[in-house]
Each structure stands twice: as C-alpha cells, then as structure tokens.
C-alpha cells in the first residue's frame, strides 16, 4: 500500500504503519509540505500514486471529483491516533478482500465509520 496521511492525522500513525505493516506512508511532517493547500496535496498524490487518508472529507472529495483519475481516498472520522491507526488497518484489510488495494481504489472513496463499517463508492460521480 502507498498512502499519504493528511496532516490532520498524527505522523506517528505513518511511522507505525511503515514499521509494523511495511506500507509506504508519506506524512507532510516527515516529507515536507506542512500547510500545503489541498489542491497541491492532491496533485502530489496523483503524481506519486498515493492513496489519500484524511479526516478532511469535504475538501478532498470536491477536488478529486474534478479530476479524471486519482489514486483514491480513505476518509476517516475524527478519532485519536490509536483509533485512527486501527481503522486504517481495518480499511486496508477490507480493500485486500476486494483485490489489489491500489487497483480497487482508483477513482474511489472508502469512507470508514468508527465502528468499522466501510462504504466504497466511485468518485467522481457524474
């Protein structure tokens, strides 16, 4: 998995997912880019084929809906660090059940609820 964790999420989550799960995870605090505009973040994720993981659903959903193709987005509710990390792992497990996560997520949004409920849908829609 290749993920970009938005700065609304703890950089410790990125570090732990890399160390414990072996995922490639970028966080703006570790890679530069704190405070970048959302459209810049989305462009970087498209360029580097990174799935965005964010709690900032409205802004990223609107931006992604204006692109022809994007690597996908996982939207989390606002949770603490430990819960966010656990929910990301649940989301990835869910995606792996559907196939290769990077392929499953192209132009898709996966919305995760705090209870582990997942909703996967196309974006852009229409």
pLDDT tens for residues 98-113? 999 999 999 999 999 9
DSSP per-residue letters across the chain: -EEEE-TTS-HHHHHHHHHHH--EEE-HHHHS-TT--HHHHHHHHHHHT-EEEES-HHHHHHHHTTSS----EEE--S--HHHHHHHHHHHHHHHHHHS-HHHHTTTEEEEE-TTS-EEEEESS--
What mean pLDDT comes out for the span 81-110?
Answer: 94
**pLDDT tens for residues 13-65?**
999 999 998 899 999 877 666 677 878 888 888 899 999 999 988 777 788 88
Structure token pair of residue 52 = 């965005």
Does this model's pTM top 0.85? My answer is: yes
Is the predicted pLDDT of residue 126 greater than 60, yes or no? no
Residues present in the chain in total: 126
Query: Cα separation of 21 and 95, whole Å?
Result: 15
pLDDT of 124 reads 61
- Peptide bond just before 124 cis, omega within 30 deg: yes
């Amino acid at each position: 998995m290749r993920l970009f964790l938005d700065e609304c999420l703890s950089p410790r989550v990125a570090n732990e997912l890399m160390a414990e799960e072996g995922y490639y995870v970028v966080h703006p605090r570790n890679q530069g880019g704190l405070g970048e505009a959302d459209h810049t973040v989305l462009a970087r994720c498209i360029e580097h084929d990174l799935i965005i993981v964010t709690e900032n659903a409205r802004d990223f959903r609107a931006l992604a809906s204006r692109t022809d193709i994007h690597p996908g987005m996982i939207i989390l509710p606002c949770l603490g660090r430990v819960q966010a990390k656990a929910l990301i792992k649940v989301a990835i497990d869910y995606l792996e059940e559907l196939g290769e996560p990077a392929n499953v997520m192209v132009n898709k949004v996966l919305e995760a609820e705090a209870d582990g409920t997942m909703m996967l849908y196309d974006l852009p829609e229409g």
